[in-house]
Structure 1
Amino acid sequence: MKLVSVETPEKSVCKMTFSASAEELEAASNAVYERTRATYTIKGFAKGEADRAQIEADRGEHTFWYDAINDLMDKDVPALYNAAMAEHGFHAVDEPVYDLVSVKKDEGFVATATTALQPELSLTQTTGFKTECVTPEVTDKEIDAVLERRRAMAAELVPHKGPAVKGNIVHIDYEGLLEGKPFNGGTAQNQTLQLGSGRMIPGFEEGILGHKGGEEFDIFVTFPARYHVKDLAGKPVVFKIKLHDVCVRQLPALNSDFAKKAANVDTMDEFRAQIRQQLHDSKHAAALNRAKDAILTQLAAAAEGELPSVLVESAYQQEMERVQQQLQMQRLSLDRYLSQIHQTRESFTAAVRTAAEKNTRARMALLQIAQNEGLVPTEEDIDKTLSERAERTKKTLEEVKAASNVEAIRRNEGIRRAADYVIEHSTIEEK
């Protein structure tokens, strides 16, 4: 491969173009074929027996190209890229974004690497910012809520002789029968179930209500039409139930015994004081973080200059990915979430992009401050950090260095140190 050109299509952005010849693409494609041929199953051939021409006739002539392109890029581009960056005196502040421009069998391929470079910002102010740290008061209601959660955690299950009602905890064996035969996933022993929790299919928990411990009975229910197991969806079944016991959750009394057991203090007043302090500390820590963020927001506002668009776009995409991951953990779609907070997709993404631009501006300002104030880690600092990582992972320093982006580590640590410097040289008034 070779470097074709180095351009700066906009301020603080470098775009490099690389190319590989048809011969290089062919040799790399054949290497991919030799490496992966055993994985292909082509009609009329046993697995791994089809040759390259037969595989490409079935899957397309491009079958091996993209792995071949990745192989060539991984092998040749890093050295070409680093040499060009050094020659032009460019300083990257993010990983390059690669794009495949064209690929043809008789021409090879062309690819680009677009990199955000460190912008030159005019810092009208770097220290002396002022903000308030407002810690909300801890209320008795909040303390009561914590106490109730601690009581719930300490609750004991006590057998109940009466009929089962909603809220009771039951222990059951059950066997599900479809057309008189057991089905997969329909049988369990000594299962714990809180009636009314909605864990089971409609009708199951309701069928237990009114029964007493020791009884055996049948429950007739129908699986929902959209049940995830297609063979059961919409089907009527019978569950044979053995109800071992019916229990109630007995909460401990809020007295000195509970205080000693739950918090290792002598009285409930001491327990409440302990909770109050814990809530205060948590609220204060959150308020202090908000105040520090406010200082860095002021720094961003005092940093004038153009940011590389690719850097802002990268920060925006990362933030959107983080939002999507959090929503997936909550089993929410973005559209569902937006309907809950009464926002349109356009207004939400615009707000995320604005935040990404502000955070990027603050980071670039901090990087500039780190360089100006001598806060960028030295080689000795980096080696110490990576040596600790090597010791934790049972590897050598050389192995860890080879697998690490040392410049990114240096840059991020410099930004962290600069943030501490700016905050230490500003004023946070406690409220």
Structure 2
Amino acid sequence: MKLVSVETPEKSVCKMTFSASPEELEAASNAVYERTRASYTIRGFKKGEADRAQIEADRGEHTFWYDAINDLMDKDVPALYDAAMAEHGFVAVDNPVYDLVSVKKDEGFVATATVALQPELNLTKTTGFTAECVTPEVTDKEIDNVLERRRAAAAELVPHKGPAVKGNIVHIDYEGLLEGKPFQGGTAKNQAVQLGSGRMIPGFEEGILGHKAGEEFEIFVTFPNRYHAKDLAGKPVVFKIKLIDVCVRQIPALNSDFAKKVANLDTMDELRAQVKQQLHDGKHAGALNRAKDQILTQLADASEGELPSVLVETTYQQQMEQIQQQLQMQRLSLDRYLSQIHETRESFTAKVRSSAEKTARVHMALLQIAQQENLVPTEEDIDKALAARAERAKKTLEEIKEKSDIPAMRRNEGIRKAADWVIEHSTIEDKAENQ
């Protein structure tokens, strides 16, 4: 491969164009074929027996191109890229974004690498910012809620001799029979079931009501028509039940015994005071982080200059991915979330893009400050951090270095140190919520 051109299509953006000859593409494609041929099953041939021409006739002439392109890019482009960056004195602030421009059998392929370069910002102010750390007051209701959760966590199951009723927790052995025969997943020993919870199939929990510990009986139920196991969906079955015990969930009283048990304190007043302090500490930590964010936002406002568009776009994509991941954890789609907060996709993405621009501007300002104040880690600092990582991972330093993005490590650590420096040289005033 060769470097065709180096351009700066906009300020603080470098675009490199690389090309590979038809011969290079062919050789790399053949190497991919040799490496993967055993995985192909082509009609009329046993797995792995078809030759390259037969595979390409069935799957297309491009079958091996894209792995070949990746192989060539991985092998040749890093050295070409680093040499070009050094020759032009460019300083990247992000990883390059690669795009395939064209690929043809008789022409080879052309690809580009676009990377954000460090912009030169006019920092009108780097110290002396001010922010208020307003810690919300801890209410009695919040303390009560924590104590109730602790009570629930400290609850004990106490067996009783009466018949099972809703709310009881029972322990049972059961065996399910379909047409007189046991079925997969239908048997359990010492299974805990909270009656009335609805976690078992309809009719199962109801069939236990009224029975006492030690009884053995049968329950006749029908699986729902949409049950996940298709061989059971809509089928009537019988469960043989042995009721081991019937328990009442006993929640402890809020007294000195409870304080001693959960916190090794003598009185409830001491426990309430401890909970209040813990809640205050949590609220204060959150308020302090918000105040620090305010200072960094002020730094962004004091940083004049154009940012590389590719950096803003990358930051925007990262933020959108984080939002999507958070929504997936909550089993929400973006459209459903937007309907809940009564916002359009256009207005929401505009806000995220604005946030991405602000984040990128803060990072670039901090990186510039890190360089001005000699806060960027040295090679020795990086080696020390990598050595510690290697020790934790039980690998050699060389193995860790090979898999680490050292320029990104250096940038990120410099940004972190610069953020601490700016905050240390600013003022955060502690205030109570009602001051």
TM category (shorter chain) comes to over 0.9
Structure 2 counterpart SS, 1:295: helix
1:134-176: CA deviation from partner (whole Å, max 9, x where unpaired): 1111111111111111111111101122232222111122233
CA-CA distance at 1:426 after TM superposition: 0.8
**Whole-Å separation in 2 of the counterparts to 1:419 and 1:28:** 46
Matched, 1:53 2:50: no
1:248-287: CA deviation from partner (whole Å, max 9, x where unpaired): 1111222222211210111111111111111111111111
Identity of aligned residues (%): 85
Letter in 1 for 2:373: E
**Whole-Å separation in 2 of the counterparts to 1:178 and 1:308:** 67
CA RMSD in angstroms comes to 1.7
Letter in 2 for 1:258: F
**Residue number in structure 1 paired with 2:233:** 233
Structure 2 counterpart SS, 1:199: coil
**Whole-Å separation in 2 of the counterparts to 1:41 and 1:132:** 67
**Residue number in structure 1 paired with 2:329:** 329
Letter in 1 for 2:248: V
**Residue number in structure 2 paired with 1:406:** 406
Letter in 2 for 1:25: L
**Residue number in structure 2 paired with 1:70:** 70
1:359-405: CA deviation from partner (whole Å, max 9, x where unpaired): 11111111111111111111121111112112222233233222211
1:194-243: CA deviation from partner (whole Å, max 9, x where unpaired): 22333223333233333332233333434334333333334443333322
**Residue number in structure 2 paired with 1:362:** 362
CA-CA distance at 1:414 after TM superposition: 0.5
Structure 2 counterpart SS, 1:307: coil
**Residue number in structure 2 paired with 1:223:** 223
CA-CA distance at 1:342 after TM superposition: 2.5
Q: In terms of mean alpha carbon deviation, does 24-33 or 351-360 score higher?
A: 351-360
**Residue number in structure 1 paired with 2:84:** 84
Q: How many residues align?
A: 431
CA-CA distance at 1:330 after TM superposition: 2.0
CA spacing shift, 1:198–1:333, aligned 2, 3 Å: farther
Letter in 2 for 1:410: R
**Whole-Å separation in 1 of the counterparts to 2:316 and 2:204:** 47
Counterpart mapping for 1:25-424 below 5 A: 25-424=25-424
**Whole-Å separation in 1 of the counterparts to 2:279 and 2:202:** 40
**Whole-Å separation in 2 of the counterparts to 1:67 and 1:196:** 56
What's the TM-score, normalizing by structure 2? 0.95
Letter in 2 for 1:303: S
Structure 1 counterpart SS, 2:135: coil
Q: In terms of mean alpha carbon deviation, does 328-337 or 304-313 score higher?
A: 328-337
CA-CA distance at 1:108 after TM superposition: 1.1
What's the TM-score, normalizing by structure 1? 0.95
Q: In terms of mean alpha carbon deviation, does 411-420 or 124-133 score higher?
A: 124-133
CA-CA distance at 1:69 after TM superposition: 0.7
Structure 2 counterpart SS, 1:210: coil
1:310-356: CA deviation from partner (whole Å, max 9, x where unpaired): 11111111111111212222222222222332322222222221111
Letter in 2 for 1:144: D
Structure 2 counterpart SS, 1:134: strand
Structure 2 counterpart SS, 1:245: strand
CA spacing shift, 1:250–1:189, aligned 2, 3 Å: same
User: Where does the alignment leave 5 or more consecutive residues of structure 1 unmatched?
Assistant: none
Structure 2 counterpart SS, 1:201: coil
Structure 2 counterpart SS, 1:150: helix
**Whole-Å separation in 1 of the counterparts to 2:215 and 2:331:** 38
